[in-house]
Amino acid sequence: MMEQNEIKQLAIVSGKGGTGKTTIAAAFASLAKNKVMVDCDVDAADLHLLLQPKVLTQEKYFGGRSPRVDLEKCTQCGLCTEVCRFNAIDNGVLDPISCEGCGFCFHICPESAIVMEEAFSGDWFFSETSYGPFVHARLGIGEENSGKLVTVVRKKAVEIAKEKNLALILIDGPPGIGCPVTASLTGVNLILAVTEPTLSGIHDLERILKLSEHFKIPSMVCINKFDINLENSQKIISYCEKNGSKLVGRIPYEPKVVEALVNRKTVMDYPCNEVQGIVNQMWKEVENTLFPSPLDGERLG
Amino acid sequence: MIISIASGKGGTGKTTIAINLALSLPKETVQLIDCDVEEPNSHIFLKPTFHRVTSVGMRVPRIDESKCTYCGKCAQVCEYHAIAVILKNVLVFDELCHGCGACSYLCPEKAIFEVEREIGIIQEGSANGISFINGILNIGEPMASPIIRKAKEGIQKNKITILDAPPGTACPVIETVKGSDFCLLVTEPTPFGLNDLELAVGMLEKLGIQMGIVINKADIGDRGIWDYCKSKNIPILMEIPMDRKIAESYSKGIPIVVENPSYIQRFCDLFEKVEKLHESNRRRPRIE
List residues bridging with B183 in a β-sheet. B4, B211
**Which of A246, A50, A199 lies closest to B191 in space, CA to CA?**
A50
Q: Same domain, yes or no, for B158 and B262?
A: yes
Is some CB atom of chain A closer than 8 A to the CB atom of B169?
Answer: yes
The answer to whether residue B52 is domain-embedded is no
User: Residue B82 sits in a domain of what CATH number?
Assistant: 3.30.70.20
Domain that holds residue B213: 2-42+119-283
Which of B100, B118, B136 is the last residue in one of the domains? B118
Q: How far is A163 from chain B (nearest CA, A)?
A: 29
Of B44, B137, B253, the CB nearest to A178: B137
The answer to whether residue B135 is domain-embedded is yes
Q: Residue A64's pLDDT is what?
A: 87
> Is residue A145 very low, low, confident or very high in pLDDT (cuts 50, 70, 90)?
confident
Q: What is the layout of strands, in order, in the sheet containing A219-224?
A: A54-69, A114-129, A132-139, A35-39, A168-172, A8-13, A190-195, A219-224, A246-251
The answer to whether residue B175 is domain-embedded is yes
Residues A105, A83 contacting (CB under 8 angstroms)? yes
With CB atoms and an 8 Å threshold, state whether B38 touches A177: yes
The answer to whether residue B165 is domain-embedded is yes
Q: For chain B, positions 83-122, list CB contacts with chain A under 8 A.
A: 95, 98-102, 105-106
Q: How many domains does chain B have?
A: 2
Q: For residue A116, which residues of chain B lie inside 8 Å, CB to CB?
A: 79
Q: How far is B277 from chain A (nearest CA, A)?
A: 24
Q: Residue A1's pLDDT is what?
A: 40
Q: How many CB atoms lie within 10 A of CB A253?
A: 14
Q: How far is A278 from chain B (nearest CA, A)?
A: 22
Q: For chain B, positions 220-249, list CB contacts with chain A under 8 A.
A: 220-222, 244, 247-248
Q: What digits encode the pLDDT tens for the residues A163-204?
A: 999 999 999 999 999 999 999 999 999 999 999 999 999 999
User: Residue B182 sits in a domain of what CATH number?
Assistant: 3.40.50.300
Which of B93, B118, B143 is the last residue in one of the domains? B118
Question: Coil, strand, or helix at residue B18?
Answer: helix
Locate the DSSP E strands across A73-211.
89-90, 93-94, 114-129, 132-139, 168-172, 190-195
Q: Same domain, yes or no, for B143 and B195?
A: yes
With CB atoms and an 8 Å threshold, state whether B191 touches A199: no
Q: How far is B200 from chain A (nearest CA, A)?
A: 8
Q: Residue B144's pLDDT is what?
A: 95
Q: Same domain, yes or no, for B224 and B109?
A: no
Class of domain A8-62+124-300: alpha beta
Interface test with B, best of A80, A148, A200 (most B CBs within 10 A): A200
**Ranges in chain A annotated CATH 3.40.50.300:** 8-62+124-300
Q: For residue B11, which residues of chain A lie inside 8 Å, CB to CB?
A: 16-19, 175
Q: Same domain, yes or no, for B32 and B77?
A: no
The answer to whether residue B51 is domain-embedded is no
**Which of B62, B76, B75, B78 lies closest to B110 in space, CA to CA?**
B62
Which of B68, B84, B118 is the last residue in one of the domains? B118
The answer to whether residue B47 is domain-embedded is no
Q: Same domain, yes or no, for B129 and B28?
A: yes
Q: How many CB atoms lie within 10 A of CB B262?
A: 8
Q: For chain B, positions 263-282, list CB contacts with chain A under 8 A.
A: none
Of A144, A203, A204, the CB nearest to B171: A144
Q: How far is A228 from chain B (nearest CA, A)?
A: 6
Nearest CA in chain B to A149: B170
With CB atoms and an 8 Å threshold, state whether B44 touches A174: no
With CB atoms and an 8 Å threshold, state whether B41 touches A144: no
Instruction: Output the tens digit of pLDDT for each of chain B's 288 residues.
Output: 999 999 999 999 999 999 999 999 999 999 999 999 999 999 999 999 999 999 999 999 999 999 999 999 999 999 999 999 999 999 999 999 999 999 999 999 999 999 999 999 999 999 989 999 999 999 999 999 999 999 999 999 999 999 999 999 999 999 999 999 999 999 999 999 999 999 999 999 999 999 999 999 999 999 999 999 999 999 999 999 999 899 999 999 999 999 999 999 999 999 999 999 999 988 876 654
Residue B205 burial (C-beta neighbours within 10 Å; 0-12, 13-18, 19+): middle
Residues A38, A169 contacting (CB under 8 angstroms)? yes
Of A19, A101, A197, the CB nearest to B11: A19
CA–CA dist B160, B26 (Å, integer) = 10
Does the model's ipTM exceed the 0.90 cut? yes
Q: For residue B44, which residues of chain A lie inside 8 Å, CB to CB?
A: 199-200, 203
| Pairs of residues, one from chain A and one from chain B, whose beta carbons lie less than 8 Å apart | 191
